[in-house]
């Protein structure tokens, strides 16, 4: 474990989940090669070429897609053996570091090469969009199979890894026991449960036991190359969580926007509807925006335009949270 040079060479890969919101659809930047599944923008890291990981990431994204990233956040480092769905063939072992980046959809779409395009993220995770009510795919397809998987006590006992929770407990934890206990932040937990149960395409592709085959599995959202859907799930969960305690939505908004547009962006990301009046009050009391003075001119009553108040970054400790005051 402590020798200096492991025999397998190691390659560091950077994968970026680059998010933008167009109207009420969150979009994710993907590259598609002919006949292959979509994948996140991806580059390998050469420590000689770049001072830090983040600099390298910005550089190769600019290179590949012409996008200049604003907000960037490191998500997670994955190094599972076999995650690059090739057997041990002497190729370098790939450790991949996932990133979340936020950007605005550019007016000049022509700047982007044809190999990369924004696609709605709910295509990859159809069960995560609750804005139209509880998604039908849950009760029609997913939960019956998951219940089936969870009640297979024999298979459960045969599992190698010891687990603190039973299959049924994990199912309840991820997908909610009763109505109203759906936690929109558990995107990754749900994806990993589906993977384990062999219900996503990637599970079959990677040779997981219990897979029900690609024909069936492809219906549970569109697959991605490598483990990129896992990285996207991480990004979605993190972004949904972060919305609640940091003013990151504004990274996705244009310089001025209506409150309705702000709300529908938040709803698009968190995948659920919010109470209009309460949302407006929340925004108002946190003093995160200020009116620009101008208005929109669409049909219906014109809406006042607002801009983000950058001062809140200093004024409020952490716009959102609490644990109890000192006493």
Partner DNA sequence: GTAATAGTGTCTTTCAGACAGTATGAC
Partner DNA sequence: GTCATACTGTCTGAAAGACACTATTAC
Q: Which of residues 235-294 bind DNA (CB under 7 A)?
A: 258-260, 275-278, 280-282, 285
Give me the least distance between CB of 261 and DNA, in Å please. 7
Choice between 299 and 322, CB closer to a copy of itself? 322
Choice between 79 and 304, CB closer to DNA? 304
303 binds DNA (CB under 7 A): yes
Give me the least distance between CB of 46 and DNA, in Å please. 47
Whole-angstrom distance, CA of residue 88 vs CA of residue 81:
9
Choice between 92 and 291, CB closer to DNA? 291
Choice between 9 and 302, CB closer to a copy of itself? 9
Distances (CA, A) of 141 to 57, 179, 216, 294: 38, 18, 10, 48
Choice between 84 and 229, CB closer to a copy of itself? 84
**183 interface partner picked from DNA, a copy of itself, none, CB below 5 to 8 A per type:** a copy of itself
- In sequence order, the 6+-apart residues with CB closer than 8 A to the CB of 12 are 44, 45, 53, 94, 95, 96, 97
Distances (CA, A) of 129 to 21, 224, 238, 299, 316: 14, 19, 16, 28, 31
**321 interface partner picked from a copy of itself, DNA, none, CB below 5 to 8 A per type:** a copy of itself
- In sequence order, the 6+-apart residues with CB closer than 8 A to the CB of 295 are 302, 303, 304, 305
Instruction: Return the ∠ at Cα 270 (arms to 269 and 274), rounded to 5°.
Output: 115
Q: How many residues bind DNA (CB under 7 A)?
A: 25
Give me the least distance between CB of 306 and DNA, in Å please. 8
**297 interface partner picked from a copy of itself, DNA, none, CB below 5 to 8 A per type:** DNA
Choice between 88 and 285, CB closer to DNA? 285
Helix, strand, or coil (residue 76): strand
Q: Answer for the pair 139, 55: CB distance below 8 angstroms, yes or no.
A: no
**5 interface partner picked from DNA, a copy of itself, none, CB below 5 to 8 A per type:** a copy of itself
317 binds DNA (CB under 7 A): no
Our CA dihedral for 156, 159, 164, 169, rounded to 10 degrees, sits at -30
Give me the least distance between CB of 275 and DNA, in Å please. 5
Choice between 50 and 119, CB closer to a copy of itself? 50
DSSP-derived letter for residue 214 is H
Whole-angstrom distance, CA of residue 262 vs CA of residue 173:
31
Helix, strand, or coil (residue 284): helix
300 binds DNA (CB under 7 A): yes
DSSP-derived letter for residue 39 is B
The site for DNA (CB under 7 A) is made up of 258-260, 275-278, 280-282, 285, 296-304, 322, 324-327
């Amino acid at each position: 474990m402590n020798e200096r040079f492991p025999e397998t060479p190691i390659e560091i890969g950077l994968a970026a989940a680059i998010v933008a919101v167009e109207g009420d659809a969150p979009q994710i930047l993907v590259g598609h090669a002919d006949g292959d599944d979509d994948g996140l923008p991806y580059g390998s890291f050469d420590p000689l070429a770049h001072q830090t990981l983040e600099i390298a990431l910005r550089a190769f994204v600019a290179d590949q897609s012409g996008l200049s990233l604003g907000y960037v956040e490191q998500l997670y480092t994955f190094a599972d053996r076999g995650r690059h769905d090739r057997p041990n063939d002497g190729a370098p072992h790939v450790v991949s570091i996932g990133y979340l980046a936020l950007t605005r959809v550019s007016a000049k779409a022509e700047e982007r090469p044809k190999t990369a395009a924004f696609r709605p993220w709910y295509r990859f995770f159809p069960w995560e969009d609750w804005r139209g009510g509880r998604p039908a795919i849950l009760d029609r397809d997913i939960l019956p199979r998951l219940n089936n998987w969870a009640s297979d006590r024999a298979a459960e006992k045969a599992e190698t890894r010891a687990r603190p929770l039973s299959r049924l407990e994990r199912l309840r934890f991820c997908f909610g026991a009763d109505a109203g206990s759906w936690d929109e932040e558990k995107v990754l937990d749900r994806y990993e449960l589906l993977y384990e149960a062999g219900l996503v395409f990637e599970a079959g592709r990677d040779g997981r036991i219990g897979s029900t085959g690609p024909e069936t599995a492809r219906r549970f959202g569109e697959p991605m190359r490598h483990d990129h859907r896992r990285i996207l799930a991480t990004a979605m969960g993190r972004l949904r969580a972060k919305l609640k305690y940091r003013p990151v939505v504004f990274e996705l908004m244009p310089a001025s926007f209506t409150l309705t547009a702000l709300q529908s962006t938040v709803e698009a990301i968190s995948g659920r509807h919010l109470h209009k009046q309460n949302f407006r009050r929340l925004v108002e009391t946190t003093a995160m925006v200020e009116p620009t003075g101008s208005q929109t001119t669409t049909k219906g009553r014109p809406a006042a335009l607002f801009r983000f108040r950058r001062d809140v970054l200093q004024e409020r400790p952490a716009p959102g949270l609490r644990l109890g005051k000192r006493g």
